[in-house]
Amino acid sequence: MNRPLLFLDVDGPLNPYAAKPERRPDGYITLRVPRNDAHEDDRGLSSRRRPLRLWLNPEHGRTLLQLGFELCWATTWMDDANRRIAPVLGLPELPFVDFGAVLLQERPDGVHWKTGPLVDYAGGRPFAWVDDEQSELDQTYVTAHHQGPGLLHHVNPRIGLRENDFRTLADYVRSLNTSRTTS
Ligand SMILES: [Mg+2]
């Protein structure tokens, strides 16, 4: 059976970059990787020379794999997520959305730059999108342009993915399966 897609952002949901620096949440490990200009928490020139600090929870890979989705990276890391993030989480190499020229390009209408490419990538297939940056405008865009179900699930970048987020995502998969067998 064709599983729904789960579009996964890294910085915010998996890496709670906005948490207080001295407060690494339980279960997380610290990773330092060379900086790439596209990363979201750049705070000026001086910080750009230092490696980027990430917090990741190695349990998250297994949990994500059990939700019933087909996982897909939807992040400024693009294919780097397979090199840097997936091994730490115990995830296999995943497909990723290639944002190409629209990467980090703000739109005049306020719709997030990821939203159009994600809707195009989904091509009408049901999806959930986990990110720390969606707004009402993105929901409106998805409702207008996506033919199937689409869940925009917002995660606080100070907190990252938690048990209740995983429950919401699992419930969403279940609701899709129920509507498929009853229609
Ligand atoms: Mg993010």
For residue 183, the CA-to-ligand 1 centroid distance in Å is 36
Q: Residues whose CB is under 5 A from ligand 1 (ion)?
A: 9, 11-12, 132
Flag whether 127 is in a domain: yes
Flag whether 43 is in a domain: no
For residue 156, the CA-to-ligand 1 centroid distance in Å is 9
Range of the domain at 12: 5-19+57-182
- Tell me, what's the pLDDT at 36? 65
Residue 2: what residue type? N
3-state DSSP assignment of residue 149: coil
pTM for the whole thing?
0.91
For residue 9, the CA-to-ligand 1 centroid distance in Å is 6
Instruction: Look at the chain and report how many structural domains it folds into.
Output: 1
- Tell me, what's the pLDDT at 91? 98
For residue 145, the CA-to-ligand 1 centroid distance in Å is 22
For residue 134, the CA-to-ligand 1 centroid distance in Å is 9
For residue 12, the CA-to-ligand 1 centroid distance in Å is 5
Flag whether 173 is in a domain: yes
Spatial distance between the Cα atoms of 77 and 97, rounded to a whole number of angstroms: 10
- Tell me, what's the pLDDT at 22? 85
3-state DSSP assignment of residue 172: helix
Strands (E), the chain: 5-8, 29-33, 52-56, 70-73, 127-131, 150-154
For residue 3, the CA-to-ligand 1 centroid distance in Å is 24
For residue 28, the CA-to-ligand 1 centroid distance in Å is 17
Flag whether 38 is in a domain: no
> Would you give per-residue pLDDT tens digits along the chain (183 residues)?
589 999 999 999 999 999 998 889 899 999 999 876 555 454 555 555 678 999 999 999 999 999 999 999 999 999 999 999 999 999 999 999 999 999 999 999 999 999 999 999 999 999 999 999 999 999 999 999 999 999 999 999 999 999 999 999 999 999 998 887 765
Flag whether 26 is in a domain: no
Flag whether 41 is in a domain: no
What CATH number does the domain containing 113 carry? 3.40.50
For residue 131, the CA-to-ligand 1 centroid distance in Å is 6
- Tell me, what's the pLDDT at 55? 97
For residue 181, the CA-to-ligand 1 centroid distance in Å is 34
Flag whether 103 is in a domain: yes
Which pair of tokens denotes residue 160?
Answer: 């990252």
Spatial distance between the Cα atoms of 134 and 130, rounded to a whole number of angstroms: 9
Flag whether 134 is in a domain: yes
For residue 53, the CA-to-ligand 1 centroid distance in Å is 14
